[in-house]
Structure 1
Amino acid sequence: MSRPALPLSAIPAELRARIEPVRALHYPPQGATSTVAIIEGADGRVVLKHARGRRWSAWLAREYAVLRALADSDLPVPRALAYLADQHAGQPAGWLLMSYLPGEPLGTVLARLNNAGARAQLLSAWGALLRRIHQTPIPVVLRTTGPWLDAQLAEARYNLAHDRVDGSPALLQRLERAQPTPIAETLIHGDYTLDNTLVADGIISGLIDWARGGPGDPRYDLALAACPTRSALRRRTDQLAFWQGYGSQPPDAATLRYFVDLYEFF
Structure 2
Amino acid sequence: MSPTLRQRVDTRLRADLGVVPTSFERLPGGHSGLTYRARTDAGSYVVKAVPEGSKPIGRHDMLRQAHIISTLAKTSVPVPRIVAVDRDEPAWFAMEFVAGESLEPVLDDPEVQPHTAAARMRRAAQVLPELHALDPVDIPESGSPLTPADELARWARTLGAVPPALVEGGQRLLTLLERRIPEPMTPTLVHGDYRLGNIISVGNEPVALIDWEIWSAGDPRVELGWFLVFADGDNFPGVGRQVPGLPSAQELVDLYRAGGPALTDLTWFDALGRLKMAAIMGHNLRRHREGRHEDPDQEKLPATIHRLIETGTALLAG
Normalised-by-shorter TM-score class:
0.7 to 0.9
Confirm or deny that 1:253 pairs with 2:267.
Answer: yes
CA distance in 1 between counterparts of 2:25 and 2:6 reads 18
For 1:242, the equivalent position in structure 2 comes to 252
Q: 1:34 to 1:15 in 2, by over 3 A?
A: same
Q: Which 5+ residue runs of structure 2 have no aligned equivalent?
A: 15-19, 162-169, 284-318
Larger radius of gyration: 2
For 1:128, the equivalent position in structure 2 comes to 126
Q: Deviations over 1:107-164 (max 9, x none)?
A: 2688523343x3322211111111221123446133756542289559939x95xxxx
For 2:209, the equivalent position in structure 1 comes to 207
Matched to 1:193, the amino acid is R
Report the aligned-residue RMSD.
3.7
Picking from 94, 99, 102, the partner of 1:97 is 94
Q: Deviations over 1:208-245 (max 9, x none)?
A: 01122242111121122112547979668424253353
For 2:198, the equivalent position in structure 1 comes to 196
Matched to 1:134, the amino acid is H
Contact 2:148–2:222 (CA<8 Å) still a contact in 1? no
Q: 1:72 to 1:213 in 2, by over 3 A?
A: same
CA distance in 1 between counterparts of 2:78 and 2:214 reads 16
Matched to 2:86, the amino acid is Y
Q: 1:193 to 1:131 in 2, by over 3 A?
A: same
Contact 2:32–2:60 (CA<8 Å) still a contact in 1? no
Corresponding residue SS for 1:97:
strand
Q: 1:98 to 1:139 in 2, by over 3 A?
A: farther
For 2:24, the equivalent position in structure 1 comes to 25
Contact 2:35–2:46 (CA<8 Å) still a contact in 1? yes
Give me the identity figure in percent: 19
Q: 1:150 to 1:243 in 2, by over 3 A?
A: closer
Q: CA deviation at 1:179?
A: 2.9
Q: Which 5+ residue runs of structure 1 have no aligned equivalent?
A: 1-5, 87-92, 161-165
Confirm or deny that 1:84 pairs with 2:87.
Answer: yes
For 1:36, the equivalent position in structure 2 comes to 35
Confirm or deny that 1:148 pairs with 2:143.
Answer: no
Q: 1:57 to 1:51 in 2, by over 3 A?
A: farther
Contact 1:138–1:187 (CA<8 Å) still a contact in 2? yes
Q: TM-score, normalised on structure 1?
A: 0.74
CA distance in 2 between counterparts of 1:199 and 1:187 reads 22
Matched to 1:41, the amino acid is T
Contact 1:189–1:213 (CA<8 Å) still a contact in 2? yes
Q: 1:57 to 1:11 in 2, by over 3 A?
A: farther
CA distance in 2 between counterparts of 1:173 and 1:112 reads 33
CA distance in 2 between counterparts of 1:144 and 1:113 reads 34
User: Which structure shows the higher strand fraction?
Assistant: 1
Q: CA deviation at 1:206?
A: 0.9
Corresponding residue SS for 1:49:
strand
Q: CA deviation at 1:17?
A: 0.9
CA distance in 2 between counterparts of 1:234 and 1:257 reads 20
Matched to 1:188, the amino acid is V
Q: 1:244 to 1:203 in 2, by over 3 A?
A: same
Q: 1:30 to 1:74 in 2, by over 3 A?
A: same
Q: TM-score, normalised on structure 2?
A: 0.63
Aligned residues: 247
Corresponding residue SS for 1:38:
strand
Corresponding residue SS for 1:120:
helix
Q: 1:115 to 1:150 in 2, by over 3 A?
A: closer
Q: 1:110 to 1:187 in 2, by over 3 A?
A: farther
Q: Deviations over 1:21-50 (max 9, x none)?
A: 212334332242222111112332211012
CA distance in 2 between counterparts of 1:98 and 1:138 reads 23
